[in-house]
Structure 1
Amino acid sequence: MPERGRIRARGVIERVTIAPASATPSFTVLARLDQDGRIGAGESIRIIWMGQRRVPGVQAGVALRFEGMLSRVAGTPTVYNPRYEIIGRPEEN
């Protein structure tokens, strides 16, 4: 996986974290990149939507295709405010 730059990838959300009401709004997910992704299959990536307390349809188990600028935050690959498309939901399995 590149250290920085624009990426397109897909993965499955493993964990969702919502900032508490007393903090600046943010919605964070940890996703595992899948085999069909172009980069780092099997690696985890953090995706953060700033200013959001929730993102409709985004929950654990959902498969996403996303695109955005990759950076490393505390060693973890991170994408802020990506474009995304939901490509699968848990109830479809």
Structure 2
Amino acid sequence: MTYQPANEQAHFSAIVVDRIARRGENEPLVRLRVIWLGRRKVTGIEPGTLLRLEGMVTVRDGMPTMFNPRYEILSRQEHQ
């Protein structure tokens, strides 16, 4: 997750890793950059949060990227 300084354009970004898509231990993780424009924070989204995302995927700087997706928080990892 990336937090932007107050003097930069507001956006919140995270790299989402799809561990479910792996079929074998030798296959790479599926990674997706998610960016919410105009927001510095997305309430409820923090490391370990399980999400369902919906939106258009494009490639930015060589990485699959989704801007302003619809999202559903499925569960949160409890920090102890």
CA distance in 2, matches of 1:88, 1:61: 9
SS at match of 1:91: coil
Unaligned runs of 5+ in 2: 22-27
Structure 1 residue 42, shift from structure 2 partner: 2.4
Find the counterpart in structure 2 of residue 25 from structure 1: 10
Q: TM-score of the superposition, structure 1-length normalised?
A: 0.73
Whose RCO is larger (CA < 8 A, sep 6+)?
Answer: 1
Which structure has the larger Rg? Answer: 2
1:51 offset after TM fit, Å? 0.1
- The answer to whether the aligner puts 1:57 opposite 2:40 as a matched pair is no
CA RMSD of aligned residues (A): 1.8
The answer on 1:34 being equivalent to 2:38 is: no
The alignment's TM-score, normalised by the length of structure 2, stands at 0.85
Partner of 1:10: none
Deviant stretches of 4+, over 4 Å? none
Aligned residue runs from structure 1 range 1-93, under 5 A: 16-35=1-20, 42-91=29-78
| Structure with greater strand share of residues | 1
Which sections of structure 1, spanning at least 5 residues, go unmatched? 1-15
Deviation sequence 1:31-79 (CA, Å, 0-9, x none): 101326xxxx821110000000100000011010000010000100000
Q: Among the aligned pairs, what percent are the same residue?
A: 38
Question: In the TM superposition, what is the alpha-carbon distance from 1:88 to its structure 2 partner?
Answer: 1.1
